[in-house]
């Protein structure tokens, strides 16, 4: 279990114990004042009755919400509020057992939220790390592609240089062929003249 979860768990347990103690103490004091106020005037009972009725309605509303909602949808704060209503000094059916149970559920729910948040953070960190690794891998692939492209460009340049050299050789060869052809034509012309001269001398 992570250290932060252990610290939060102990901290929430201490807070829960303090809340229960405060509720019990405030309940005793409030009940004492409520009993004294009851002996003074009957008109003072009207707000108390309305508040008790409101408490019962709120308790019923929270209980219904807990029954209809799933555990994932339930806000842990509802357990805290319901526990305070169970232990309320003006609650005629005050129930410290249910109150403590609600406080425990609030503690577990709050702790669960913290653990889920820690898990969420860990998941995001792993996701970012995977993205980073992917980017690094893509960068290496890009570098390899760049190296291959540069190598291909060098080969193309070498082939073009070789082609230019071959073209120059072909041009020089064509020029030599033209020169030899002219010489051959000249020799043929001279040979024809000499042949004619020999025939003339023979006559």
- In this predicted model, what pLDDT tens digit does every residue of 117-164 receive, in sequence order? 666 666 776 777 777 777 777 766 777 777 777 888 888 888 888 888
Question: What burial letters (b/e) apply to 92-102, b meaning 16+ CB within 10 Å?
Answer: eebeeebbbeb
The answer to the question of residue 127 being in a domain is: yes
Mean predicted confidence (pLDDT) in 179-194:
82
Q: Which of 44, 23, 22, 43 minimizes the C-alpha distance to 34?
A: 44
- Looking at residue 140, its pLDDT comes to 66
**154 DSSP 8-state letter:** H
Number of domains, the chain: 1
The answer to the question of residue 43 being in a domain is: no
- Looking at residue 46, its pLDDT comes to 31
**112 DSSP 8-state letter:** H
Please state the φ and ψ torsions of residue 155, each to the nearest 5 degrees.
-65, -40
The answer to the question of residue 71 being in a domain is: yes
Residue-wise pLDDT tens digits, 106-121: 777 766 666 666 666 6
- Looking at residue 125, its pLDDT comes to 65
- Looking at residue 113, its pLDDT comes to 66
Output the pTM of the full model.
Answer: 0.37
Cα–Cα separations (whole angstroms), residue 52 to 83, 87, 146: 15, 12, 79
The answer to the question of residue 122 being in a domain is: yes
Cβ proximity of 74 and 66 under 8 Å? yes
- Looking at residue 28, its pLDDT comes to 42
Residue 49 confidence class, pLDDT cut points 50, 70, 90: very low
Domain that residue 94 falls in: 55-149
- Looking at residue 53, its pLDDT comes to 63
Cβ neighbours for 29, distance < 8 A, ≥ 6 positions apart: 89
Q: Which of 111, 53, 110 minimizes the C-alpha distance to 85?
A: 53
The answer to the question of residue 22 being in a domain is: no
The answer to the question of residue 72 being in a domain is: yes
- Could you tell me which residue, 129 or 96, shows the higher pLDDT? 96
The answer to the question of residue 1 being in a domain is: no
Residue 58 confidence class, pLDDT cut points 50, 70, 90: confident
For the chain, first and last CA: distance in Å?
A: 131
- Looking at residue 48, its pLDDT comes to 40
Radius of gyration in angstroms for the set of CA atoms belonging to the chain, rounded to a whole number:
51
Residue 21 confidence class, pLDDT cut points 50, 70, 90: low
Choice among 68-77, 97-106, 108-117 with the minimum mean pLDDT: 108-117
Q: How many CB atoms lie within 10 A of CB 147?
A: 10
The answer to the question of residue 136 being in a domain is: yes
Choice among 24-28, 78-82, 98-102, 165-169 with the minimum mean pLDDT: 24-28
């Amino acid at each position: 279990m992570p250290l932060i979860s252990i610290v939060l768990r102990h901290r929430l347990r201490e807070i829960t114990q303090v809340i229960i103690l405060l509720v019990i103490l405030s309940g005793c004091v409030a009940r004492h004042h409520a009993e004294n106020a009851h002996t003074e005037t009957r008109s003072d009972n009207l707000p108390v009755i309305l508040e008790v009725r409101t408490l019962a309605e709120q308790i019923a509303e929270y209980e219904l919400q807990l029954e209809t909602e799933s555990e994932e949808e339930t806000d842990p704060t509802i357990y805290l509020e319901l526990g305070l209503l169970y232990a309320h000094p003006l609650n005629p059916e005050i129930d410290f057992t249910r109150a403590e149970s609600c406080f425990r559920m609030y503690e577990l729910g709050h702790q669960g939220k913290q653990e889920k948040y820690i898990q969420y953070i860990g998941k995001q960190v792993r996701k970012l790390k995977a993205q980073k690794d992917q980017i690094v891998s893509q960068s290496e692939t890009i570098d390899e592609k760049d190296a291959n492209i540069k190598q291909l460009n060098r080969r193309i340049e070498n082939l073009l240089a070789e082609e230019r050299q071959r073209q120059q050789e072909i041009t020089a060869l064509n020029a030599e062929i033209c020169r030899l052809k002219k010489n051959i034509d000249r020799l043929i012309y001279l040979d024809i003249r000499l042949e004619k001269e020999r025939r003339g001398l023979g006559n």
